[in-house]
Structure 1
Amino acid sequence: MHILSKFCLSVIAGSTLALTGCQQYIQPQEPLPAPSAEAPNQFNLQGKIGVRTPQQSGSAFFTWAQEQDEFDIELSGILGVGKTQISGKPGEVTLNSAKTGLISAASPEELLERATGWNAPITHLVKWVQAKPATQHAQLNKDGSGRIAQILEDGWQVDLSYENSDPLPNKLVLKQALETGKENRITMVIQNR
């Protein structure tokens, strides 16, 4: 069970890292209205993330601070147990926890693969948490209010949920269908922005 918990935490940590570390892909789609306006790749999120694969599952609380091309993510279990720190800037991403030690890589995808053996385009999450597609090839479905409710992109289905009339989602469910008929699933609940 300890090995499974360690692996799950690594998956969650790597997943969250990959969510934020891919800043070279983040570009504003329209000019900012004023210099004081918040940039699309600048935000602070808090919430809970869960990862479920056919082999295992796990969850953690997260705080994610994104400042242009740099980010810091902290993951922890219940009552702050098992803290993991993930930091990144262009060309350098690190994951540090008591269970895994320090792991470094040039990109979030590389770090995720080193930490977990799992390969996924989850760097798109920087756009997805802002209710935007990450590429021009994405297929979009909108809700009755005109907000993006579903993104189909790079083999992933992303379902976005909103609270009331909020313009940004408070929940994302990412699903990747596998050849076995099963799926990989990441559920991200954003409690504070």
Structure 2
Amino acid sequence: MNKLSQACLILCSSSVLFLTGCQHFTQPQLPKNTHESANQFNLQGKIGVRTPQQSGSAFFTWSQQQQNFNIELTGILGMGKTQIQGQNGKVTLNSAKTGLITASSPEELLERATGWQAPITHIISWVQARPATTQAQTNLDANGRINHIQEDGWDVDLSYDAEQKLPNKLILKQMLEDNKENRITMVIQNR
């Protein structure tokens, strides 16, 4: 399996358009103990990964219950079904092409499989329209929703359908040398 396929699989597991409206720069204040209780969701959609070398996409179903998650990917570069599961301290990826890959965190799994480093666990917060750390910088749209997060070397653009409170599309960009970038696009079709 090529590195792009592996990156797309991992990014989904731990498993952002344009800035619109009135924007405000804010330094987020993360309420204590709300992230643990809020990390419960079910998502379905499509994810695409583009690097300077390659690109690919897959459909995903993602169930998150606190620190435990289950992600099923289909259609990624002709690979068929891939199952990714995580519990605190253990992450596994299993597919007919790769077999079983195990790591202690999504970030470690990504690096082990592809050599690429990214803050994968932050995506849990980003799909819920919130920063993952207090060091993040955010912008708000005219409706007071976060539409941009800059955090740990990534720029995340969030867009919303009408008056929805949670984003339906996220584009994550990591700038590289020579004006190149790594880009992850998540389209959330069902919540």
Aligned residues: 175
Q: 1:112 maps to which residue? A: 110
Mapped contact 1:87–1:94 kept (Cα < 8 A):
yes
Out of 6, 11, 14, which is 1:15 matched to? 11
What's the offset of the Cα at 1:11? Answer: 1.2
Q: AA paired with 2:187?
A: V
Counterpart CA distance in 1 for 2:53 and 2:173 is 15
Does the CA-based 8 Å contact 1:8-1:59 persist in structure 2? no
Contact 1:9 1:60 in 2 (8 A): no
The 8 Å contact of residues 79 and 97 in structure 2, kept in 1 or not, is answered as no
Instruction: Answer yes or no: is the 8 Å Cα contact 2:172–2:184 preserved in 1.
Output: yes
Instruction: State the Cα distance separating 1:31 from its structure 2 match.
Output: 6.9
- Which residue number in structure 1 is paired with residue 72 of structure 2? 74
Q: How do residues 94-113 of structure 1 correspond to structure 2 at under 5 angstroms?
A: 94-113=92-111
TM-score (norm 1): 0.85
Aligned equivalents of 1:101 and 1:29: distance in 2?
Answer: 40
1:88 counterpart (67, 86, 89): 86
Q: Give the Cα–Cα distance (whole angstroms) in 1 for the partners of residues 105 and 132 of structure 2.
A: 17
Aligned residue number for residue 23 of structure 1: none
Deviation at 1:99, TM superposition (A): 0.9
Larger RCO of the pair (alpha carbons < 8 Å, separation 6+): 2
Percent identical across equivalent pairs?
66
**What is the CA–CA distance in structure 2 between the aligned matches of 1:141 and 1:109, rounded to whole Å?**
26
Residue 9 of structure 1: how far off its partner (Å): 2.5
> Pairwise CA RMSD of aligned residues?
1.9
Displacement, 1:116?
A: 1.4
Task: Indicate the residue corresponding to 1:22 in structure 2.
Answer: none
Partners of 1:119 and 1:153 lie apart in 2 by: 14
- Return the alpha-carbon distance in structure 1 between the equivalents of residues 60 and 73 of structure 2: 5
Letter in 2 for 1:10: Q
Provide the residue aligned with 2:57 in structure 1.
59
CA contact (8 A) 1:42 1:67 kept: yes
2:31 to 29, 32, 47: 29
The yes-or-no answer on 1:152 pairing with 2:150 is yes
Q: Render the CA deviation track for 1:53-89: whole Å, top value 9, x for unaligned.
A: 00111000000000112100000107x9611100000
Q: Which runs of 5+ in 1 are unaligned?
A: 20-27, 33-37
Q: Is residue 14–residue 111 contact of structure 1 (8 Å, CA) maintained in 2?
A: yes
Determine if contact 1:41/1:67 at 8 Å carries over to the other structure: yes
Task: Specify the SS of the correspondent of 2:12.
Answer: helix
Deviation above 6 Å: which 4+ runs of structure 1? none
Give TM-score, length-normalised by structure 2.
Answer: 0.86
Structure 2: runs of 5+ lacking an equivalent:
16-29
User: Which amino acid letter does the alignment assign opposite residue 99 of structure 1?
Assistant: K
Q: 1:83 to 1:7 in 2, by over 3 A?
A: farther
